[in-house]
Structure 1
Amino acid sequence: MDLSTKYLGLQLKHPLIAGASPLPDDLDKVRGLEDGGIAAITMYSLFEEQITQNLIGSEAHIGAYENSFSEAASYFPEVDLLERGLEAYLEQLRRVKEAVSIPVIGSLNGTREGEWVYYASFIEEAGADALELNLYFLATDFDVTAAEIEDRCVSIVAQVKDRIEIPLTVKLSPFFTALPHFAKRLSHAGADGLVLFNRFYQPDIDTDELDVRPALDLSHSPELRLRLRWLAMLSGQLPVDLSVSGGVHTGLDLAKSIMAGADSVQMVSALLMNGPQKIGQVLKELTHWMEDKEYSSLEELRGCLNYQHCPDPEALERANYMRVLKSFRTIPSHRKD
C-alpha cells in the first residue's frame, strides 16, 4: 500500500503530520512522535507579539491598554509568555531539527504589517524545512472592512514570501467572506499551500469571579465537516497544496480528508489525548479501509470527491441544504407517561 505524498515540496511517507502544538517544546515528545511514525512535525508558533516584545519591550506592548477598565487585563498574556521570544524559539527549532530526521515546519503567527515579518528568514536559517504562517485574526473594529482585512493579509503573505526560500503555507480561519477568491489572492501573493483551518478559542465568563476565562477545547471528529466542505471546494482549482487541521481522529477521518483533496492531514488533539501510539492506529485504519475499497495508493483516492468537476457548486450546496432541512425529523421522545 503506497501512502506516500508530497506537501510543500517535501516527500512524506504518508500524509499524517503533527500540527502546531506545545509538543515540540519537549524533545522526548518530539522523538516519541518520530518513533510513533509521524511524517513531519510543525513547531508551535512564534507570535508577532513576542517579536514586538523583543523590539520594544513588553511594558510598552501592554501599556497601551493601561487606561482600559480593569477587567480587560484578563484578556492580555502574561509578560513571561511574551518574553519567551525569538532566540528561545530559534534555539528550540534547532534542537528539534537535530533530534529527528523527518521534516520540521516552522510556525509564525501574526496579523499586522510590521517589522516582525522580517523574522521569517531567521526561522529558515534555524533549519525549518517550510514555514506555516498563521493568520489568526478576529475582526473587532467596526470601521475596518472585509476588503481591508484581506488586503492586509495578502500583503503580509507577500512580504513573508519575499524573505524566505523555503515553501510557505498559510493557515486560515473559515470566516472570510469569499474564501475561494481570497485563497486565489494568497496563491498569487506567493503561498505554496493553505491550511484549513485554525481554531478560534472561545472565552467563557466566570459568573462567580466576574472574570473572563480563556479556553480552547480539544477537537472532535464532527469538526472535520467544515474542513471537508472547503477542501472539496478548493481542491484542484489552485496551484497550492492543501492541508486539513482540526477534527482528524480516525483512519476514516484521514480517508475523508484525502478524498476531499488534502495533500497532508494535521493531527493535534488526538495526539494530546492518546499519545504517539495513535499515529500507527490511524494509519492502520486507513490502510485497512483502502484495501477493502481496493485502492492501492493515495493518488487514486485524492480529490475523488472534490467539486472540481461540478459545474455549479453553489447550486449543489443549496440543493443539499434544502434536502437536509426537509429530511430532518423530530427526535422521538423516550419519556414514559
Structure 2
Amino acid sequence: MRADLSTRYLGLELANPVVVSSTPATGRRESLRELAASGAGAVVLPSLFEEEFLSGDAHLDGTGDHVALLRWAKQELDIPVIGSLNATKPGSWQRIANELVDAGADALELNLYTLTANPLTTSAEIELEHLAAIEAVRIVTDIPLAIKLSPYYSAISHFANQAVDAGADGLVLFNRFYAPDINLDTLEVFADADYSTASAQRLALRWIGILRGQLPGTSFAATSGVHSGTEVIKAALVGADVSYVASAVMTRGPQAIGQILAETDAWLSANDYPTLAEIRGKVSAASVKDASAYERAQYISVLKSAW
C-alpha cells in the first residue's frame, strides 16, 4: 500500500510535499505542464522583480508576460500556483502583490533578497524595512503569504517571530544567494548559477527544527539541497510541511519529481508509517529529549570528534 503523502502548506491542500521552487523551469508553459504531470505538489513561479514592474508599460515588458503566465497556469494546471515577488521600495510591494493576486495566485511568496554593502546601514534598519514590506503586502492582500528568508539575520528566531507577527503565514528557509566568481584568465568578476548539493539542506534542517516548536501555527518550507526522498523525509522529521526542489529539476528534468516521491513513499512504507503527517516534527527541537544537537553543543561535539 502506498503511503499518504498529502500535506497542508499555507492553508492549501497539496497531494504531496514536493514543491518546485522559482526556477527557469517554472517560467515556461511546456515545462510547467511537465512538472504538474510528473507529480509536483505545487509550483512557485519565477519572481516578479520591482525593476521589471517599473520598466514601463506592464503589458509590454516582462511584467505583463509574468502575469499572463500566472493566469495561464491557474487555468491549465490542477495544482496550487504560488506567485513570487521581489521589491525594495515600500510602494512597489503593494503594486506587485496586487498584480499577482488579480492574476489568480493561490498564495504569495515574498523574496527578501537584500545585500547591504553600505557601512552606514545597520542590521536593525534592514530588518525594519523587511518587516514593513511584509506588513505592506499583508494589508493589501488576503491570500496566504510566505516569506523567503536568508540565513544572514543575526537573531533568526527573533526575526522569524516578528515576520509572523507582521503577517507571514509561512517561512521558506533559506534563500540561497548567488555569489560572484573570478575568471583567473581574464581577472573578471562574473555571476554564475551553481547547483546545490544535499549537504546544503543542513542549515534549513537546523532552523526549521528549532522554529517548529516556537511557531507551531506557521507553515514551513525547506529549500536548498533537496535532491531525493531522503531530504524530503529529513525535512518532514524536523517539522517542514513541504520541500522545495530546484537544482534536482534543473539537472535531471521533471522526472526527478517522480523519483523523489517514489523514494519518499518507499521510506515511509519500509518504516511502517502510513502517512507523511505521522513523522512531521518527530525530531524537532521541541520533540526530542536532548535538543543540544541543534545548538552550540553540536559544534563542540564535532570539533572533538576524530576526523
Pairwise same-fold verdict (TM > 0.5): yes
C-alpha displacement of 1:96 = 1.8
Task: Name the SS for the 1:127 alignment partner.
Answer: coil
Q: Note closer, same or farther for the CA distance 1:84–1:22 as it changes in structure 2 (3 Å cut).
A: farther
Check the 8 A contact 2:20/2:26 in 1, yes or no: no
C-alpha displacement of 1:187 = 0.2
Q: TM-score, normalising length from structure 2?
A: 0.94
What is residue 4 of structure 1 aligned with on the other side?
A: 6
The whole-number CA distance in structure 2 between the counterparts of 1:97 and 1:37 is: 16
What is residue 259 of structure 1 aligned with on the other side?
A: 237
Check the 8 A contact 1:15/1:39 in 2, yes or no: yes
Task: Select which of 199, 204, 226 maps to 1:227.
Answer: 204
C-alpha displacement of 1:24 = 2.5
C-alpha displacement of 1:277 = 1.2
**Match for 1:130: what amino acid?**
A
The whole-number CA distance in structure 2 between the counterparts of 1:312 and 1:54 is: 56
Q: Percent identity?
A: 43
Check the 8 A contact 1:235/1:308 in 2, yes or no: yes
Deviations along 1:253-289, one digit per CA (max 9) or x if unpaired, are: 1100000110111101101111111111111111111
What is residue 27 of structure 1 aligned with on the other side?
A: 29
C-alpha displacement of 1:217 = 0.2
What is residue 305 of structure 2 aligned with on the other side?
A: 327
What is residue 195 of structure 2 aligned with on the other side?
A: 218
Task: Select which of 171, 180, 197 maps to 2:157.
Answer: 180
Q: Note closer, same or farther for the CA distance 1:205–1:192 as it changes in structure 2 (3 Å cut).
A: same
The whole-number CA distance in structure 2 between the counterparts of 1:26 and 1:310 is: 43
Alignment of 1:66-145 (within 5 A): 84-145=61-122
Task: Name the SS for the 2:220 alignment partner.
Answer: strand
Check the 8 A contact 1:30/1:99 in 2, yes or no: no
C-alpha displacement of 1:314 = 6.7
**Match for 2:17: what amino acid?**
P
Query: In the alignment, is residue 189 of structure 1 matched against residue 166 of structure 2?
Result: yes
- CA radius of gyration, larger in: 1
Check the 8 A contact 1:259/1:301 in 2, yes or no: yes
What is residue 269 of structure 2 aligned with on the other side?
A: 291
Check the 8 A contact 1:54/1:85 in 2, yes or no: no
What is residue 126 of structure 2 aligned with on the other side?
A: 149
C-alpha displacement of 1:164 = 0.9
Deviations along 1:71-119, one digit per CA (max 9) or x if unpaired, are: xxxxxxxxxxxx8432121111112222211110000012342334322
Check the 8 A contact 2:48/2:96 in 1, yes or no: no
Gaps of 5+ in 1: 58-82, 330-337
Task: Name the SS for the 2:175 alignment partner.
Answer: coil
The whole-number CA distance in structure 2 between the counterparts of 1:35 and 1:146 is: 43
Q: Note closer, same or farther for the CA distance 1:204–1:307 as it changes in structure 2 (3 Å cut).
A: same
C-alpha displacement of 1:295 = 1.1
The whole-number CA distance in structure 2 between the counterparts of 1:170 and 1:116 is: 13
Check the 8 A contact 2:201/2:225 in 1, yes or no: yes
**Match for 1:290: what amino acid?**
L
**Match for 2:213: what amino acid?**
G
What is residue 255 of structure 2 aligned with on the other side?
A: 277
What is residue 246 of structure 1 aligned with on the other side?
A: 224
Check the 8 A contact 2:83/2:107 in 1, yes or no: yes
Check the 8 A contact 1:7/1:241 in 2, yes or no: yes
Q: Larger relative CO (CA 8 A, sep 6+): 1 or 2?
A: 2
Query: In the alignment, is residue 308 of structure 1 matched against residue 266 of structure 2?
Result: no
Task: Name the SS for the 1:28 alignment partner.
Answer: helix
Deviations along 1:26-66, one digit per CA (max 9) or x if unpaired, are: 211111011101111110000122123238x9xxxxxxxxx
The whole-number CA distance in structure 2 between the counterparts of 1:303 and 1:169 is: 19
Check the 8 A contact 1:242/1:262 in 2, yes or no: yes
What is residue 332 of structure 1 aligned with on the other side?
A: none
What is residue 18 of structure 1 aligned with on the other side?
A: 20
Check the 8 A contact 1:51/1:116 in 2, yes or no: no
The whole-number CA distance in structure 1 between the counterparts of 2:100 and 2:37 is: 25
Q: TM-score, normalising length from structure 1?
A: 0.86
Deviations along 1:316-337, one digit per CA (max 9) or x if unpaired, are: 62222111111132xxxxxxxx
Check the 8 A contact 2:239/2:281 in 1, yes or no: yes
The whole-number CA distance in structure 2 between the counterparts of 1:52 and 1:197 is: 27
**Structure 1: which 4+ aligned runs deviate by more than 4 Å?**
309-316
